[in-house]
Amino acid sequence: MRAANILHLGIKELRSLARDSRLLILIAYSFSLAIYVGATAMPEALNKAPIAIVDEDRSPLSTRIVGAFYPPHFLVPTLIPQAGMDEGMDAGLFTFALNIPPDFQRDLLAGRVPTIQLNVDATRMSQAFVGSGYIQTIISDEANEFARRSRGGAAPPVDLALRARFNPSLTQTWFGAVMQVINNVTMLSLVLTGAALIRERERGTVEHLLVMPVTPLEIMTSKVWPMALVVLAACAFSLLFIVQGLLAMPIEGSLALFFAGAAVHLFATTSLGIFLATVARSMPQFGLLLILVLLPLQMLSGGATPRESMPEVVQTVMLVAPTTHFVMLAQAVLYRGAGLDVVWPQLLSLTVIGACFFGIALGRLRKTIGQMA
């Protein structure tokens, strides 16, 4: 294998990529606007949820409960009659509809356990799940304070001293931003390397490579390193200017160590992209294969859901996926400031997985080139 051939063929891939405006737009979007939108799309708390209240009690307590719902968590409550509850829910006007029954205050003061009906539009999942807990807490606090004739509860028997490490303000965008970067690194590395090989086949330029004094190993290496370099550069831009700059997320660990892990991860995913490109006959086929491979890599790697909550079979199978180890490495370095002494098992696993993927993809590429020759 000659380094000069790999260098010149790699530069040819970079020039070909520079002329593909659609892929350039995809790269720019994936590591800029997509990172910001993915990190901030899910609200961190309930915000301006529409709520309607049917007050059949008309008591001081029910009036107090109605007044406890106010922005920014809820919109100002809309008082509606009993007949308007189902109609408003069916029309999608309210996420929550609260029905305070008659004699609610009297039953509470008499020591009974009155019931309030809460109807929730469960199609609005982000608001429905969080908002139900908010409403239950608000009603319980107001009812308890009214029954005690004083505000403020009794001192708890145990005082819990909460110290949130690595994300003291519990900012959800910090987690979403890093996970979005990891997902886009994986996606773009598969897309760019696969598209590079399929583009050669569709444009007929792969025959030029067959008559050149280059080996399949040189061809594959020349497609891996330039695409990995482009994704790595885009990842660095995203971390420095979007994650650290625009989203104001502090990075605790060494960026050099993270980029080293990202480079090894790209070695594995770009090899996987070459393998998928040798299986697919066209870009549409490659896109379908990409969906089948990319979704499990992103959903089951531990980024969206902790691995400990998954079935043991899934945890064991996903150990052969490079994204599993890259997610662990990225979270340890960027969040917890881990060093090489902590993440070396992930680096070693990524290296072994990358070497296996590279060998399998190289064997498949040799077979494909041999059939074309």
Task: Tell me: do 191 and 322 sit in the same domain.
Answer: yes
Please state, in angstroms and rounded to a whole number, the distance separating the CA atoms of residues 13 and 197.
Answer: 10
Q: What is the pLDDT of residue 173?
A: 81
Domain co-membership, 137 together with 16: no
CA distance 247 to 218: 41
In this prediction, the residues of the chain whose per-residue pLDDT falls under 50 are none
Give φ, ψ of 94 to 5 degrees: -130, 145
Residue 207 has what pLDDT? 63
**Does residue 197 lie in a domain region?**
yes
Residue 112, pLDDT score: 86
In a domain, 155, yes or no: no
The domain total for the chain is 2
pTM: 0.78
Question: Are 354 and 286 in a shared domain?
Answer: yes
pLDDT given at position 349 = 94
Q: What is the pLDDT of residue 150?
A: 61
Cα–Cα distance measured from residue 160 to residue 287, given in angstroms and rounded to the nearest whole number = 51
Q: What is the pLDDT of residue 283?
A: 86
pLDDT of residue 206: 66
* Beta-ladder partners of 120: 96
d(CA 367, CA 373): 10
Predicted local confidence at residue 237, as pLDDT: 94
Whole-angstrom distance, CA of residue 202 vs CA of residue 292: 23
- In this prediction, residue 210 carries a pLDDT of 66
What CATH number is attached to the domain comprising 75? 3.40.1710.10
203 and 57 in a common domain: no
Could you tell me if residue 208 is inside a domain? yes
Whether residues 133 and 205 share a domain: the answer is: no
For 138, the domain range is 51-148
Predicted pLDDT at 352: 95
Chain centre to alpha carbon of residue 251: 18
Could you tell me if residue 159 is inside a domain? no
